[in-house]
Structure 1
Amino acid sequence: MPNLDGRSLELQTAMADVATEVHAVLDRLVPDGGGETGEARLAAAMRYAVLGGGKRLRPFLVVESASLFKVAPMAALRVAAAIEMLHTYSLIHDDLPAMDDAELRRGRPTVHRMYDEATAILAGDALLTRAFEVLADPAVHGDPGVRIELVKELAQAAGIAGMCGGQMMDLQAETESLPLEIGAITRLQRLKTGAIIAFSCEAGAILGKAAPQLRHALNAYAHDLGLAFQIADDLLDIEGSAAETGKDTGKDSAANKATFVSILGVERARAQALLLADQACQHLDPFGAAADRLRDVARFVIERKS
């Protein structure tokens, strides 16, 4: 991350600390299976994927939003781990030959390359279902109403009105060569990427039984953050390298895929990402200085190199 001033260094340290804590929780929640059984192979593929590093941005958003409402740290970490399981499932499936046919993820061979396609599909399925099992556990929150709300909201964010719906729009636009205007791309990315980011930001408010207006403020922040994040991803696909990003680059342009960058151009896309990051920060005004790290995240997502 360029221009490493005191605040950005503090953010990097905080993100690394949360990543370490979430890794430890994931290590406990995704057991190795033991032995030479089919379950052991499946567990090994799950662990290969979910313990394979990454920015852990979504877990960090959960932990930071939860801190605004004095939520118990372990409760926030369990929710953060559940979201990382679901996010990892989406990456495993997104990398499959039927989708992006990617060879690299987080600097390592993708799960279907490391194992095989069938194992990759099952590993994704198992991580998805495990995520909801974790959210439903009383260890997350003593109030069953809170746990039900978490399950419901994540299901909506991941389903047809969220990530899966956005992915279908993306595939359809590519396979049917449908021209997308900026409004359609914005909606696509709001579903495909933004919905899970929005849930990550709202999860802390759900855990803390926050007032509706505060939950709305976090949702608005997440909306702009998610679009800024996607524009940065589109820029990295053009300007980044596999060594920096840890995944294949240049695939969008090679497939003649409509993106924010292909429509707006590099400079206008970069300016739009800056504008969205600034707007995201403004939505955090009700929280005052307590939300400074979330403000720093808005800058991080547009300056990152991976």
Structure 2
Amino acid sequence: MSLESFSYLNSHHEKESSLDRRRVWEVLEERLCKMSQEVNERVLSNLFDRRKIASIVDNECRIIPRSYLKKNGGPYGKEVDGDIRGDELSVHNYEFSFSGAREEWARKHYGTYDEDEIVSRWKNAELLCDDMLAETATALILHRFLFDRYVVVRSCAYDDYENGVDMLIVDTQTDTVVCAFDEVVDHVDGELYQKKVRRSKERLIKQGGMRIKYGLQTVVDSDSGAQFVRGSLPHVPGLCVSQTRQELHTFFRSLSDGKTEPSSSEVLYFRSIVDRLSVQVESLSSHMSEHHKAGIDVFLIECQQRLGSL
């Protein structure tokens, strides 16, 4: 489907549901900034070889690849070595392709021949689509209910485009990367959701899970406690988080500008995530390593305990 067709369908859904997407994004963006500050503070205060980096995630709580350079205490070489510069070029090419920046229909759609302008406007439009809003909401909800033990970070654009990873959940009390999430707006019996679940299963069977180049994990030491370490993660269980469009829009209409205590809609959203993940894990656990299965089991137990205390 071309972006032009997608934009039409998305605007059709917007008109049909009368959802004020810009207001939704403004509320989510404000919360993302706060989440990013909390994640940066927690990770940087316990980061192995921090050196001089000021942030490991940006204002949208996405991993910053340049914080992984060796000069910043990370694992990857200088830009001239191609590690990060090559990935940035890959992201650039993906975005030019997705936006149609070099195609005539996109130039007509955006009313410009400026390719960088087309990409910029496409990225701004993407922020307001259901999938991106759902990904943002899920990250915020998991952070809200689980931050005392788990760190939730959104993947950088490279891992999103290249490896199909939207976010990563790290257990701060063990050396376990619980799982990587791929967000989808669809019914649990929908074609897109089922396709992503099949892909997760295939990756577990063939390569032990998903690969994340710009990953984060903890190393637990009895003396110094947990330290965060940057690097590639080759075998992370991939799970699919699903919300229907109706559930998503109902949740967004109940968004407030922020409360100390979770709202009933936030609890319901969190519960739906946990319930669907529990069912999915049952079908995938036989293909996981014992280490990863134990990590996910503990994660789901923690989630159920949080729900039980509300």
TM-score (norm 1): 0.32
TM-score (norm 2): 0.31
> Relative contact order: is structure 1 or structure 2 higher (C-alpha 8 Å, sep ≥ 6)?
1
Structure with larger Rg: 2
- Which of the pair is proportionally richer in strand? 2
